């Protein structure tokens, strides 16, 4: 099938809940993808920060296919060594105690919300101590409850009634955060860098205030690291840049190297809140996905690899900042947003696609989440494409 045939067939059979671009990707290697007509693309998006090792990494593909040949799924009635190894490795690497296995970011966040509320109820026996403070411009997922948690009015539409018990505070507004705390609050949930909200990092002072208020009022701290986690910012967790240890951490996007996984990591008393029968997920802990995840974690535990990610991130940032019509660059590591001067990010994305480069946008910004394995040559080639477009814009 060529591109047009793929698109026609797809649209005839799939609900159109996305505004898609006219691109049908068929294969790839590292940060280079190939479409159904044989055209090549440099990828600055990695499937929204998901293909952390790029397309079809050899070691990852071998581990995944070896596990598929051995056994693909077992259900959560039983144990599996691959899932055990992945969980033990991830909790050790993140300095957390225990995790829950799901399949997506939204599912990981649902679990975090349930843990925060059950912990509050177990301890205080109060059905009103359930409010979770989240931030304006946050993004936490597409289920009815994670849409509620998302602090953006555009997402609070059509699907009424939304789950109650969320309160939104402007990011980096310390006074607003203090004012929002009352006897109904049980948790504060946040992204260290708001991804969908425009690649906006939290201030260190604001993060410190979250943790101070949480300690003072016995609130759960929940960091949604679905986008910022798994090496994206040059550290395993973005929390390391802020020097804090949230009670609950959610990861998803980059964790499986492109396979569906979402985990909710917990520390201390939060590790023992869920008891048999209180939560579940049929596919959770799938051995094939965990086999891929182990390869990702092994790569990230290599100090040399992580040092390279940090160096490439600095180079990527400098290159972005040097582009014409780029006003400023936000973000940390390889999670970067560029504010543009007189150019629409959506138009730039379309022009980049026509010229063989895949990028993302977030609000009015150009957003780049390249695979952690991207090469300097690919960074240069992608930047040259952006430069060519922006010089003429
Ligand atoms: C993508 C994202 C989610 C949702 O993840 P899904 O896998 O699409 O459910 C949640 N939180 C953040 C911060 C995200 O970037």
What SS3 string covers 176-233? HHHHHCCCCEEEEEECCEECCCCCEECCHHHHHHHHHHHHHHCCEEEEECCCCCCCCC
Closest residue by Cα to residue 190 from 226, 217, 145: 226
- Does 242 sit in the ligand 1 pocket, CB within 6 Å? no
pLDDT in the model for residue 363: 97
Q: Tell me phi and psi for residue 237, to 5 degrees.
A: -120, 145
- Does 35 sit in the ligand 1 pocket, CB within 6 Å? no
Q: What is the value of pTM for the model shown?
A: 0.98
- Does 151 sit in the ligand 1 pocket, CB within 6 Å? no
Q: Directed axis angle between helix 81-94 and helix 287-300, to 10°?
A: 30
Q: Which ligand 1 atom is nearest residue 109's CA? A: 10
Write the CA distances from 91 to 43, 84, 140, 255, 263, integer angstroms: 30, 11, 22, 13, 11
Q: Tell me phi and psi for residue 220, to 5 degrees.
A: -75, 140
* Spatial distance between the Cα atoms of 119 and 277, rounded to a whole number of angstroms: 15
pLDDT in the model for residue 386: 98
Is it true that the peptide bond before 161 is cis, omega within 30 degrees of 0?
yes
Is it true that the peptide bond before 261 is cis, omega within 30 degrees of 0?
no
Report how far ligand 1's centroid is from the alpha carbon of 195 (Å): 9
Report how far ligand 1's centroid is from the alpha carbon of 226 (Å): 6
Tokens of 38: 């044989």
* Structure-token match 């909710």, residue found: 264
Q: Which ligand 1 atom is nearest residue 48's CA? A: 1
pLDDT in the model for residue 137: 98
* Spatial distance between the Cα atoms of 334 and 344, rounded to a whole number of angstroms: 22
Local structure of 117: helix, strand or coil: helix
pLDDT in the model for residue 252: 98
Closest residue by Cα to residue 139 from 150, 124, 153: 150
- Kind of pairing, strands 248-251 and 185-190? unpaired
Tokens of 23: 């691109």
Substitution candidate for ligand 1 out of 253, 256, 369 with most atoms within 8 A of CB: 253
Report how far ligand 1's centroid is from the alpha carbon of 140 (Å): 6
- Does 333 sit in the ligand 1 pocket, CB within 6 Å? no
Substitution candidate for ligand 1 out of 52, 135, 144, 196 with most atoms within 8 A of CB: 196
Nearest residue by C-alpha to atom 6 in ligand 1: 105
Q: Which residues pair with 56 in a beta bridge?
A: none
Substitution candidate for ligand 1 out of 111, 139, 261 with most atoms within 8 A of CB: 139
How far does CA 257 lie from the centroid of its chain? Answer: 12
- Tell me the pLDDT tens digit for each residue of 236-259: 999 999 999 999 999 999 999 999
Q: Which ligand 1 atom is nearest residue 250's CA? A: 11
- Does 210 sit in the ligand 1 pocket, CB within 6 Å? no
pLDDT in the model for residue 143: 98
- Does 225 sit in the ligand 1 pocket, CB within 6 Å? no
- Tell me the pLDDT tens digit for each residue of 95-133: 999 999 999 999 999 999 999 999 999 999 999 999 999
* Spatial distance between the Cα atoms of 187 and 131, rounded to a whole number of angstroms: 7
Write out residues in the chain with pLDDT < 70, as ranges: none
* Spatial distance between the Cα atoms of 65 and 224, rounded to a whole number of angstroms: 30
- Does 246 sit in the ligand 1 pocket, CB within 6 Å? no
Q: Is 325 left (phi over 0), alpha (psi -120 to 50) or beta?
A: left
Nearest residue by C-alpha to atom 10 in ligand 1: 140
pLDDT in the model for residue 208: 98
Q: Which ligand 1 atom is nearest residue 262's CA? A: 7
Largest CA distance in the chain: 63
Nearest residue by C-alpha to atom 11 in ligand 1: 140
């Amino acid at each position: 099938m060529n591109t047009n045939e793929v698109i026609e067939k797809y649209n005839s059979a799939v609900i159109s809940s996305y505004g898609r671009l006219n691109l049908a990707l068929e294969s790839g290697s590292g940060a280079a993808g190939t479409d159904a007509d044989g055209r090549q693309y440099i990828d600055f998006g990695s499937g929204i920060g998901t293909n952390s090792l790029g397309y079809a990494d050899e070691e990852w593909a071998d581990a995944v296919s070896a596990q598929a040949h051995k056994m693909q799924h077992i259900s959560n009635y039983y144990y599996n060594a691959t899932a055990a190894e992945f969980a033990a490795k991830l909790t050790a690497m993140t300095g957390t105690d225990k995790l829950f296995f799901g399949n997506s970011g939204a599912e990981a966040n649902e679990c975090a919300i349930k843990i925060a509320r059950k912990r509050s109820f177990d301890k205080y026996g109060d059905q009103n101590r359930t409010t979770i403070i989240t931030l304006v411009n946050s993004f936490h997922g597409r289920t009815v409850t994670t849409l509620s948690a998302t602090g953006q009015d555009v997402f609070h539409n059509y699907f009424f009634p939304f789950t109650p018990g969320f309160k939104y505070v402007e990011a980096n507004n310390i006074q607003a955060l203090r004012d929002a705390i009352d006897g109904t609050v049980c948790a504060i949930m946040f992204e260290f860098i708001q991804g969908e909200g425009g690649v906006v990092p939290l201030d260190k002072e604001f993060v410190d205030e979250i943790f101070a208020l949480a300690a003072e009022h016995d609130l759960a701290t929940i960091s949604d690291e679905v986008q910022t986690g798994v090496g994206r910012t040059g550290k395993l967790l973005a929390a390391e840049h802020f020097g804090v240890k949230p009670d609950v951490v959610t990861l998803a996007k980059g964790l499986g190297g492109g396979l569906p996984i979402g985990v909710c990591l917990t520390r201390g008393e939060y590790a023992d809140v869920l008891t048999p029968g209180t939560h579940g997920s049929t596919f959770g802990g799938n051995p094939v996905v965990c086999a891929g995840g182990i390869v990702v974690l092994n790569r990230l535990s290599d100090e040399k690899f992580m040092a390279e990610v940090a160096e490439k991130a600095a180079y990527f940032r400098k290159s972005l900042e040097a582009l014409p019509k780029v006003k400023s660059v936000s973000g940390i590591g390889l999670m970067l947003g560029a504010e543009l001067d007189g150019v629409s990010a959506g138009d730039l994305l379309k022009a980049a696609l026509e010229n063989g480069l895949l990028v993302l946008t977030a609000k009015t910004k150009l957003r780049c989440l390249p695979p952690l394995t991207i090469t300097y040559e690919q960074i240069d080639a992608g930047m040259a494409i952006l430069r060519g477009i922006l010089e003429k814009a």
